[in-house]
Amino acid sequence: MSKVGRPLPPLDLLVGFEAAARHLSFTRAAAELFLTQSAVSRQIQGLEEFLGVPLFERRHKALALTEAGQAYFRTVGPVLEQLRDSTRRLRETRSGRLLTVTTTISFASMWLVPRLSRFRKDHPHLDVRVAASTDVIDIEREGIDVAIRDCRPDAAPAGAVMLMGDHVAPVCSALYLKESRAAKRPLSKPEDLRHHVLLHMHDPHGRFPFISWPTWFESAGLADLVAGGSLVFGQYDQVIHAAMHGQGVALGRMSLLQQDLKDKNLVALFGKTKRIARAFHAIYSKGAASRPEAREFVQWLQLEIEREK
């Protein structure tokens, strides 16, 4: 029997439905898909009109699947997953081999991208796609091969490869330090920070206390210290770039700044660093754990880190 002419809903409606059904939230589905909540709501409405049945029950401050919605989700979820897997495999063979890596925006811009040309030089046959994000994405669903994640060592998933631990210390540019001394506002001890502008990363949910000035001051016994001013940025790499350009003092993650410290783009202050309970790990997706390309990439990460010690 011919299947031509049997109607299917548009793919974007199915993707929106699958995300909303999985999260039971239009808001979280919208965040995952980089859409507005109203856009996801319109997708669901369009799909319900196409099918002629309601898929969700809208309750007060809650969302639930109808019986029809549950049955449809059981079909749509696996089908979309198979489609993602097939798409990834085809892209890998399109022009050689493709390796997809996800990490934070800061790690990508401050550590990975400046070194990636060395990996490409040794692996010219391999295409690399870097998916940098502030969100922790589902590496299985998004077709990621390797994730570089920053977490507590005891929170790393099974099979994760620890790449490097970390320390923090106040940092500034060499020119800023020189000009501060000339202006009789030296930076010879932590108490001197009261005369300087501190550079902060906006962290409303307290996810990164280890690069928070209040946390650092408390550990230094200076919980009541009031700085001479502050600048706040949305991303950590922006904080560090501001420090490099002489706009104040930042809390530097030594793991990300080794080359900048060697090149004198930044100077670590006060002669000591504070170890933090964080480390960068490489995590393989299930499909990539046995791929030679993925293992070559992680081995390269380890060699780069060892080379800079």
Do 236 and 292 belong together in one domain?
A: no
- State which of 91, 116, 151 marks the end of a domain: 91
DSSP reduced 3-state for 58: strand
Q: pLDDT digits over 45-86, tens only?
A: 999 999 999 999 988 778 999 999 999 999 999 999 888 877
In 55-112, alpha helices (H)? 67-94, 105-107
Question: Helix/strand/coil (H, E, C) string of 114-159?
Answer: HHHHHHHHHCCCEEEEEEECCCCCCCCCCCCCEEEEEECHHHCCCC
Which residues form the domain of 122?
96-159+278-303
Do 223 and 132 belong together in one domain?
A: no
The answer, yes or no, to whether residue 242 has pLDDT greater than 80, is yes
Residue spans of beta strands (DSSP E) within 234-273: 250-253, 267-268
CA–CA distances in Å: residue 278 to residues 249, 253, 254: 22, 10, 12
Contact 72, 55 (CB under 8 A): yes
The answer, yes or no, to whether residue 293 has pLDDT greater than 60, is yes
Do 252 and 193 belong together in one domain?
A: yes
Contact 273, 235 (CB under 8 A): no
Q: pLDDT digits over 187-206, tens only?
A: 999 999 999 999 999 998 88
CATH number at residue 79: 1.10.10.10
Q: Provide the pLDDT for residue 59.
A: 82
CATH number at residue 112: 3.40.190.10
Q: How many domains does the chain have?
A: 3
Measured between alpha carbons, how far is 81 from 202 in angstroms, rounded to an integer? 35
Residue 35 covered by a domain: yes
pTM: 0.70
Q: Provide the pLDDT for residue 202.
A: 94
Structure tokens, 149: 């994640």
Q: pLDDT digits over 218-239, tens only?
A: 999 999 999 999 999 999 999 9
Residue 2 covered by a domain: no
Do 150 and 195 belong together in one domain?
A: no
Do 103 and 139 belong together in one domain?
A: yes
Residue 231 covered by a domain: yes
Do 178 and 30 belong together in one domain?
A: no
> What phi, psi does 60 have (nearest 5°)?
-65, 115
The predicted model gives 24-30 an average pLDDT of 90
